[in-house]
Amino acid sequence: MYYVTFYHPDPVPDPANMARLREAYPRHRANLDEFAKGGQVWMIGTFGDPATQGSMAIFRSRAAAETFMASDPFVLEGLVHRTEIREWEPLEF
User: Which string of DSSP letters, residue by residue, matches 28-93?
Assistant: HHHHHHHHHTTT-EEEEEE-SSHHHH-EEEEESSHHHHHHHHHH-HHHHTT--SEEEEEEE-----
In a domain, 10, yes or no: yes
72 burial (CB, 10 Å; 0-12 / 13-18 / 19+) is buried
Residue 13 has pLDDT above 80, yes or no: no
Question: Tell me, what CATH number does 51's domain have?
Answer: 3.30.70.1060
Contact 35, 41 (CB under 8 A): yes
Say how many domains are in the chain.
1
User: In this predicted structure, what is the pLDDT of residue 10?
Assistant: 87
Is residue 93 assigned to a domain?
A: no
To the nearest 10°, report the CA torsion of 21, 22, 24, 30: 120
**Residue 14 belongs to domain spanning:** 2-88
What tens digit of pLDDT does each residue of 25-73 get? 999 999 999 999 999 999 999 999 888 899 999 999 999 999 999 999 9
The residue type of 33 is: D
Domain membership of residue 34 (yes or no) is yes
